[in-house]
Amino acid sequence: MRTIEIFDTTLRDGEQSPGVNLSLNEKVEIALQLERLGVSRIEAGFAAASPGDLRSVAEVAARVKNATVISLARSNEKDIDKAYEAVRGANDAGIHVFLATSPIHRQYKLCMSKEEVLERAVAAVRHAKKYVQHVEFSAEDAGRTEIPYLAEVVEAAIKAGATVINLPDTVGYLSPQEYGNIFREMFRLVPGIEKVKLSCHCHDDLGLAVANTLAAIEAGATQIEGTINGIGERAGNAAIEEVALALETRKDVFQAVTTLNLREIARTSQLVSRLTGMIVPGNKAVVGANAFAHESGIHQDGVLKEATTYEIIRPETVGFKSNRLVLGKHSGRHAFKDKLADLGYHLEQAEIDIAFIAFKELCDKKKEVSDDDIVALVDSKMSGSAEAYKLESVQLSYGNLSVPTASVRLLRQDGTVLEEAACGNGSVDSIYKAIDRATGEDVTLADYKIVSVTHGKDALGEVYVRLQQGDLIVQGRGVSTDVLEASAIAYVRAVNKIIERRGETLVASV
């Protein structure tokens, strides 16, 4: 069995998903969970993109102990210097430089000849190598690059000191057969290729990212790049959990294993979904709500007799637990603390205290409190962002024949209390207009989603909003037994994020 290294780029390529904008604390929370999941490498961001990105990469580098922490950099000295500045505090630091090699990118994007691209790639790897041992070189759009030229660039990058060579299908264009062939060709054409790690990085534009990743593994790739839940640019990246489960379930075919603790998959998926606001579709492989649900009578009958009739993965394998009813109104602080530990939280005492108060309040409103409720509640209390405004109260006057009117009371960070009222087209609209008046922020509501955490009339409602101000798009999330309160919390959180992120000027993007 070969061991395949997992390079997670949820915090970089994943964060490039439209509308996703994680705060520093959220990135650290995800990075620590990725460490628990057992990934070998964490691409924590693109340090040259903005001072805020640099700070978050540096914080992840300082906190993560058991994975290589990497920053992306374009192939120029300034980016590479920033990448090093960000990762230098890591236990194990890496720099990932990239440069496009395909004829389309050379001609239209870079306006560079083949020779110039090759020289620039070599110079970039050499510069990164002055700082760190772990240097990855990505030939962007390798999938559409002439194979003999790609082999030349790869050979030159290895000679310049690259320890990992990544061959991305940047636009998700190739078939598994074609993608696997690139790896076979590199093994045939590039002297010294066996001394480095060969990595694949697939996008899902044709729904082939996972299939292409598996094809690369079969063709000899020793590292795979991907994201949790498959989030990322456009249609996203290869979903790490799907690749890992394919390797685990079909060891007989792939003859390869990963270092992942598969039981952490469900928790990691749920955390990424909550913090990015990208809801996992019910039918998503491995982590979707229906991935282990059997609807047809024939299937149910089969599974009851013998699970393997229709189930090739056990839900427990990826860490799903049945929705046991656990704590209730009579549960004490100690039991609550144990439950948090069981659910994978590593909280400070002050955070446990806040969560416990919220839990007790929930017990007054909701008869049955499940694990999912506790997770939703605790995550909603740990907002992860600096709070410029806090929602103190929201009141609504609504009738199907009258104009809805909302009044809100916000507490500003400096202690000032702000009260405003507004009418709107509906209840949510009136609440949002009142909040806009109170904060004076000019924002546009780009998206609004509401989901229920569990089943039943008293289920917690989870609201996700996406707000836009100029080029800045952020998401906010709120949880409450009342969906209007959840809507207000989500909106105030998003406004707070806008204020936090506005201070961080964007310098560059991939």
Binding site for ligand KIV (CB under 6 A): 13, 98, 138, 140, 166, 168, 170, 201, 203, 510
Applying CB under 5 A, does 53 fall inside the site for Zn ion?
no
Q: Please check whether residue 447 is in contact with residue 465, taking contact to mean a CB–CB distance below 8 angstroms.
A: yes
Q: What is the secondary structure of 223-290 as a DSSP string?
A: EEEEBGGG--STT-B-BHHHHHHHHHHTHHHH-EEE---GGGHHHHHHHHHHHHT-PPPTT-TTTSTT
Q: How many CA atoms lie within 13 A of 252 on its CB side?
A: 1
Applying CB under 5 A, does 485 fall inside the site for Zn ion?
no
Near Zn ion in 33-52, by CB under 5 A: none
Query: Listing from the earlier edge strand, what are the strands of the sheet with 472-480?
Result: 444-452, 461-469, 472-480
Given Zn ion, ligand KIV, none, residue 105, with its beta carbon under 5 to 8 Å by kind, binds none
| Pick 200 or 465: Cβ nearer ligand KIV | 200
Distance of CA 95 to the CA centre of its chain: 20
Given Zn ion, ligand KIV, none, residue 140, with its beta carbon under 5 to 8 Å by kind, binds ligand KIV
Where does residue 429 rank: exposed (0-12), middle (13-18), buried (19+ CB within 10 A)?
middle
Minimum Å gap between C-beta 238 and ligand KIV is 11
| Pick 13 or 371: Cβ nearer Zn ion | 13
| Pick 140 or 264: Cβ nearer ligand KIV | 140
Q: State the residue for tokens 């996992």.
A: 280
| Pick 189 or 510: Cβ nearer ligand KIV | 510
Residue nearest to Zn ion (CB): 13
Residues forming a β-bridge with 419? 409
Applying CB under 5 A, does 13 fall inside the site for Zn ion?
yes
| Pick 140 or 462: Cβ nearer ligand KIV | 140
* Pairing between β-strand 93-100 and β-strand 68-74 as defined by DSSP bridges: parallel
Minimum Å gap between C-beta 249 and ligand KIV is 27
Q: Please check whether residue 150 is in contact with residue 139, taking contact to mean a CB–CB distance below 8 angstroms.
A: yes
Minimum Å gap between C-beta 202 and Zn ion is 8
365 vs 362: CA distance, rounded Å: 5
Minimum Å gap between C-beta 203 and ligand KIV is 6
Given ligand KIV, Zn ion, none, residue 98, with its beta carbon under 5 to 8 Å by kind, binds ligand KIV
Q: State the residue for tokens 């959990």.
A: 241
- By rule CB under 5 A, what count of residues binds Zn ion? 1
3-state DSSP call for residue 472? Answer: strand
Q: State the residue for tokens 């993007």.
A: 509
Given ligand KIV, Zn ion, none, residue 14, with its beta carbon under 5 to 8 Å by kind, binds none
Minimum Å gap between C-beta 18 and ligand KIV is 15
Q: State the residue for tokens 């907002």.
A: 383
Given ligand KIV, Zn ion, none, residue 138, with its beta carbon under 5 to 8 Å by kind, binds ligand KIV
Given ligand KIV, Zn ion, none, residue 433, with its beta carbon under 5 to 8 Å by kind, binds none
Applying CB under 5 A, does 462 fall inside the site for Zn ion?
no
| Pick 13 or 242: Cβ nearer Zn ion | 13
Q: State the residue for tokens 């189930």.
A: 311
Given Zn ion, ligand KIV, none, residue 17, with its beta carbon under 5 to 8 Å by kind, binds none
**Residue 259, both tokens:** 């270092």
Minimum Å gap between C-beta 30 and Zn ion is 18
**Residue 146, both tokens:** 């002439």
Q: Where are the beta strands (DSSP E) in 142-211?
A: 164-169, 197-202
| Pick 100 or 492: Cβ nearer ligand KIV | 100
208 vs 187: CA distance, rounded Å: 23
> Nearest 5°: phi and psi at 313?
-130, 135
Q: Please check whether residue 242 is in contact with residue 286, taking contact to mean a CB–CB distance below 8 angstroms.
A: yes
Q: Please check whether residue 251 is in contact with residue 223, taking contact to mean a CB–CB distance below 8 angstroms.
A: no
Closest by CA position to 31, among listed 48, 12, 54: 12
Given Zn ion, ligand KIV, none, residue 226, with its beta carbon under 5 to 8 Å by kind, binds none
| Pick 52 or 168: Cβ nearer ligand KIV | 168
Minimum Å gap between C-beta 233 and Zn ion is 6
Given Zn ion, ligand KIV, none, residue 223, with its beta carbon under 5 to 8 Å by kind, binds none
Given ligand KIV, Zn ion, none, residue 493, with its beta carbon under 5 to 8 Å by kind, binds none
Minimum Å gap between C-beta 318 and Zn ion is 25
Minimum Å gap between C-beta 510 and Zn ion is 8
Q: Footprint of Zn ion on this chain (CB under 5 A)?
A: 13
